[in-house]
Amino acid sequence: MKTAEVIQMMEQEKVIAIVRGIAADKCMKVADALYEGGIRLMEITFNQKDPTSFRTTADCIESISKKYEGRMMVGAGTVVTTEQVELAARAGGRFIISPDVNVDVIHRTVELDMVSMPGAMSPTEVMTAHHAGASFVKIFPAANLGVDYVKAISAPISHVKLMAVGGVNENNLAEFLKAGMAGAGIGGNLANKKWIEAGEYHKITETAKTLVEIARNFQ
């Protein structure tokens, strides 16, 4: 799938499931639960505290990408180096999400024909990311900053596609989408670690269905 098609899919689907700190043997079960709930965008994050886990993260991206090829887009999150961009690309990742505006990471992502989504808070950071070639910029931490903040900074830079990330859930997703966000990344409120450890994957599916239904109202 070409980058333009991935961007279009992100704009259409709006909800990116963020999967963080999940054991490798549970990644596919989480992916299956998300897919059953209607999620079509999944971010698997690198654990920067444990470089030995990077290969395992890439393996998860690769296995899910192969199983759901063309049906669910998988990308890497918490990407802070160009080496991690390259690792994700080799695994079949289609987008790169970063916690910061690292111009080298953005450039390498674009060079490898993937969608870049760096994290920012201020308008200056947003525009730096945009000029570097990012397709989307995530506003983090969105819930802490609040919907009013999102509205205020997006007004003069409405040409930049912004994603709300951090504290977004089924109770406030609609507010962020109404405020003009192109979509949202949702982590622990969806891929909940307690549910996963308890094997309660049906709760992930049901929450996913609720979020997808909310997003459909803004398509």
How close are the terminal C-alpha atoms of the chain, in Å? 21
The two tokens of residue 149 are: 């903040």
- Give the neighbor-by-neighbor strand order of the sheet with 119-120: 115-117, 95-97, 73-77, 41-45, 15-19, 183-186, 162-165, 137-139, 119-120
| Strand 119-120 versus strand 115-117 pairing type | unpaired
CA angle, 157 as apex, 164 and 126 as ends, to 5°? 55
Write down the catalytic residue from 13, 14, 138, 161: 138
- Is the omega angle on the peptide bond into residue 156 within 30 degrees of 0, that is, cis? no
**Nearest CA among 95, 116, 114, 97 for reference residue 106:** 116
Q: Cα separation of 96 and 117, whole Å?
A: 6
Residue 83 is among the residues annotated as catalytic for this protein: no
Query: How many residues are recorded in the chain?
Result: 219
Q: Which of 10, 32, 9 is nearest to 19 (CA)?
A: 32
The separation between CA 119 and the C-alpha centre of its own chain, rounded to angstroms, equals 11
Catalytic residue list contains 213: no
- Catalytic machinery residues: 43, 138
